[in-house]
Amino acid sequence: MRSFFLTMAVLAVLPAFAGASPLSDYRSLFAPFSLADGSTRIGIRKFRQGGVTRYLAIDPASLKTSVIPEGETLPLKVSVASLAQTPYMRELALHRASRRRLQNDGLVHARGAAQGVFITADLCPSARPFEREMFAAVEAAGGGSAVPVAVAISGDWLLKHSSDLEWLTGEERAGRLAVTWVNHSRSHVYRPAEPLERNFLLTPGTDFGNEVTATEILLLERGIAPSAFFRFPGLVSDAATVAALLEMGLIPLGSNAWLAKGEKPTQGSIILVHGNGNEPKGIRLLLALFLEKRSRIRLLPVADAVLSGGHGEEMRREGTGEGLRKGPVPDR
């Protein structure tokens, strides 16, 4: 009996949104609502967890995501039409209107003037050790405050590197990293001999929706809220997969500075490195960049690439197809 009461006491102090709790009834939707403080959220997924119905919701002003119990949602206090002018909805509209490309579709640099760069580290499936040294160098660049970094995580990596994932979330809790968790698909299928048109998520028979939601569920079950961003494996996509992604409320995240390919970052660049041990060249270049520009390099949260503004001008430029990049995009 005593142990029963002890168990109940422990359960009582667990937070409402605890990790390691399975999800059910997972579905996509577009459900704008208000919170008690008058702010707006857009629920993009609805699910059951721990006997409670919850939303994975996006703040359309900041692009931050969180998990909100249904009981805390209130009827929308603003007009649905007004949501179209929010940074989040405008960003989705920009991607709908832009010309499709097989490689590197999506956001590749800041929309407006950004005084800094965005680091994105991909965790594709890998048997190699995780690049802890790189993350430590990123932390050192922050000089004591939580350093923003986007981690593009594949479900396959997550399942095979649980201690590395725990290290990352521990660094978040300790206030050394501020991670934006970017979905990098569940299986990250890659077949070296196949052309890009039939590779990665364009592999025939791929269940695209499941590739997206399965990784979200893996994260949510560990108490991690996936962000509004998705990185296509190999940066390879087509009109159908981008349309499906936007329909699910997610923003495709590309890069104009894949360091291992010799692309040089400038202000506002979304830098791509691999944090999974498969591309040491990119890590060497990033570490060299930190050494070289020690006091001048400023790291920004990837949502700022959207919030930096300049939407109207960007939409006109994208319509011309300017900035289309060529060259092979192998991925590990």
Task: Select from 3-11, 12-20, 78-86, 116-124 the region that touches Zn ion (CB under 5 A).
Answer: 116-124
In this chain, which of 59, 91, 105, 122 binds Zn ion, going by CB under 5 A? 122
Annotate each residue in 213-242 with x if it binds Zn ion (CB under 5 A) or - if it does not, as one string: --------------------x---------
Q: Is 150 in the site for Zn ion (CB under 5 A)?
A: no
Nearest to 329 by CA among 149, 175, 104: 104
Which residue type is seen at 122? D
Q: Does 279 bind Zn ion (CB under 5 A)?
A: no
**Residue 100 gets which letter from DSSP?**
P
- Least separation in angstroms between residue 232's CB and Zn ion is 9
Nearer to Zn ion, 124 or 220 (CB): 124
What is the separation of C-alpha 103 from the centre of its chain, rounded to a whole number of angstroms? 18
Residue 124 lies near Zn ion (rule: CB under 5 A): yes
DSSP letter at 192 equals: T
Residue 156 lies near Zn ion (rule: CB under 5 A): no
Among 100, 17, 99, 2, CA closest to 55: 17
Q: What number of other Cβ atoms are within 10 A of residue 199's Cβ?
A: 20
**Would you say 140 and 278 are in contact if contact means Cβ atoms under 8 Å apart?**
no
282 lines the binding site for Zn ion (CB under 5 A)? no
Smaller CB distance to Zn ion: residue 126 or 269? 126
Q: How far is the CB of 147 from Zn ion (least distance, A)?
A: 22
- Residues 29, 44 contacting (CB under 8 angstroms): yes
> Candidates 80-88, 282-290, 298-306, 324-332 — which segment interacts with Zn ion by CB under 5 A?
324-332
| Total of chain residues touching Zn ion, rule CB under 5 A | 4
How far apart (Å, rounded) are the C-alpha atoms in residues 12 and 8? 6
Instruction: Please say which residue, 122 or 304, places its beta carbon nearer to Zn ion.
Output: 122
> In whole angstroms, how far apart are CA 165 and each of 9, 123, 169, 172, 211?
28, 10, 6, 11, 19
Residue nearest to Zn ion (CB): 124
Angle (CA) 27 87 252, round 5°: 55
What's the min distance (Å) between Cβ of 139 and Zn ion?
A: 23
Residues lying near Zn ion in the complex (CB under 5 A) are found at 122, 124, 233, 331
